[in-house]
Structure 1
Amino acid sequence: MDTTRYQKLFTQQGFWRKLGPRARSLGRETLEKALYLYYAVQSPLTPKWAKRVIYGALGYFILPLDAIPDLAPLVGYTDDLSVMAAALATVAFYITPDVKAQAQEKLGQWFKTPATPAYTDA
């Protein structure tokens, strides 16, 4: 999916507004992918081309009108999850242990669980 047109739609305020009140209802998998992308785009180590991919995926995620309405039970975030998964596959190198740790910390706050340590090659 070409996410070029969605790049301009991403805003931090829109991202947190989408997640805020219904974070837990989105499901841990969707949240985790969204947070990986969000924290990767904040990193100075992520190059501009990768940030464009991420902004496109997150812009699609926060867009109120998408292929499958988000209000549809169980399937509403399927398209969002697919777009984010494709973006993650494209920019996987920039999903660093630090990015994963930040995402896990936020997930721990929402789901009231301790942060899961990021995978290391030890």
Structure 2
Amino acid sequence: MDDVKIGEILLPGDEDEQDRQKSRVKKRFWPVLKRAMRQVPFGRDLVAAYYCALDSRTPTKVRGILLAALAYFVLPLDGVPDFFALVGFSDDIAVLTAAFAAIRGHIRDDHYMAADKALADEPDMQAAG
């Protein structure tokens, strides 16, 4: 992650790039989240960010930042491989923390309500979270 700055990762990109990111995120988010729940300290915020990123009412730039951060989270290979216990998700956490700071206030109560429902409906994540 030394070669790539967090700000570069979080570039919202154009519409085509956002579509590619959205496709990656939708395909891989839930399986990766299940593996990460024990290591990521803000699982509820992460799921709420997922719903915010997919919400058409979210401003395009905010959606782009979230989709970029979530795409980094779901990528199988990144700065620190996720299969390393305890440190594997540390780079993902840094990217997500920066994204949350950049979009503060755009994740709404309805995104958190959707996150709470998704987490409550998924027994594996309930036990982990």
TM-score, normalised with respect to structure 1? 0.76
The structure whose RCO (Cα within 8 Å, separation 6+) is larger is 2
Question: What is aligned with 2:86?
Answer: 74
Unaligned runs of 5+ in 2: 1-5
Q: Which runs of 5+ in 1 are unaligned?
A: 113-122
Matches for 1:51-66 after TM superposition, within 5 Å: 51-66=63-78
1:92 Cα offset (Å) = 1.8
User: Structure 1 residues 68 and 23, CA, compared in 2 at 3 Å: closer, same or farther?
Assistant: closer
Asked whether the 8 Å contact 2:36–2:89 carries over to 1, the reply is: no
Runs of 4+ in 1 over 4 A off after TM superposition: none
Find out whether 1:19 has 2:33 as its counterpart: yes
**Counterparts of 1:88 and 1:81 in 2: how far apart (Å)?**
10
Q: Secondary structure at the match of 1:45?
A: coil
What TM-score results when the alignment is normalised by the length of structure 2?
Answer: 0.72
Q: Across the two proteins, how many residue pairs are aligned to each other? A: 111
CA RMSD of superposed structures (Å): 2.4
Q: Deviations over 1:48-68 (max 9, x none)?
A: 011110111011001111111
Q: Tell me if the contact between 2:32 and 2:74 (Cα under 8 Å) persists in the aligned partners.
A: yes
Matches within 5 A, 1:1-122: 1=6, 2-3=8-9, 4=11, 8-9=20-21, 10-20=24-34, 22=35, 24-27=37-40, 29-108=41-120, 109=122, 110-111=125-126
